[in-house]
Amino acid sequence: RNIVLNNPRKRNALSLSMLQSLREDLLHDVKSKDLRVIIISAEGPVFCSGHDLKELSSEDDVKHHSQVFEICAEVMTLIQKLPVPVIAKVNGLATAAGCQLVASCDIAVASEKSQFATPGVNIGLFCSTPAVALGRSLPRKVALEMLFTGEPLSAQEALMHGLVSKVVPEDKLEEETMKISKKICESSKSILALGKATFYRQMTQDLDTAYKMTTQVMVDNLTLRDGQEGIEAFIQKRKPVWSH
């Protein structure tokens, strides 16, 4: 499924209504066997500029401000809870909560002209929530330099530090994203869902706990119908037929 941020006039800002739509689109038909991968892209030269600052002025009350940040955190964590891989397809600038969105996706493919920044410090609103995703994607000193200075990372720097998975020329962005998506679609949805959930769970655990938990998951994986089918197909030298 393709989700397109489509408010280029507002630099695809994550207004309350944009965040609500994004949550709705991410959750739509998520249990369907046909949904295998979600791609988030955007119209215009800015992938996403982060929060709509007009909504964060003193004209709105604290309750509204809380609502904006709460739903934003919900959307960012939801991406990792979904049973299918989520790919950010970035062609342009991603700043603040827009940079957080890229960092929160499972995979990110960016064009060479893309840039990534957390410039909140420059307007007196430190990017503390984007820092959660950033600090978990990048080495600490790189994340902190971005957060303290607001200076952008180029696409190549973002790749070097692990914020994105791949950087390609702009005219190859669609092709590369589709290549990854098609490869994902060749696998069993149930096996991928198990793998994704387990990956994020073990990342927060210490080494011994992580191995204990994942050992059990491997055993459980073998009891799944597609786990058995995959191994049988390999032994019989045939293509597996997934039931998902």
Same domain membership, residue 192 and residue 181:
no
Question: Can you give the pLDDT at residue 61?
Answer: 84
Mark which of 144, 170, 185 sits at the end of a domain: 185
Question: Can you give the pLDDT at residue 189?
Answer: 96
Same domain membership, residue 210 and residue 95:
no
Same domain membership, residue 19 and residue 82:
yes
Task: Specify if 50 maps to a domain.
Answer: yes
Residue 222's domain comprises 188-236
pLDDT averages per 10-residue partition of the chain, 244 residues:
96 96 96 94 97 85 92 98 98 98 98 98 96 97 98 98 98 98 97 98 97 98 97 97 94
Question: Can you give the pLDDT at residue 59?
Answer: 74
Q: Number of folded domains in the chain?
A: 2
Task: Specify if 147 maps to a domain.
Answer: yes
**CATH number of residue 192's parent domain:** 1.10.12.10
Task: Specify if 68 maps to a domain.
Answer: yes
Q: What is the residue-wise DSSP string for 126-191?
A: --HHHHHHHHTTS-HHHHHHHHHH-PPEEHHHHHHHTS-SEEE-GGGHHHHHHHHHHHHHTS-HHH
Question: Can you give the pLDDT at residue 6?
Answer: 96
**CATH number of residue 7's parent domain:** 3.90.226.10
109 DSSP β-pair partners:
89, 166
Same domain membership, residue 192 and residue 180:
no
Total-model pTM: 0.96
Same domain membership, residue 72 and residue 178:
yes
Same domain membership, residue 153 and residue 208:
no
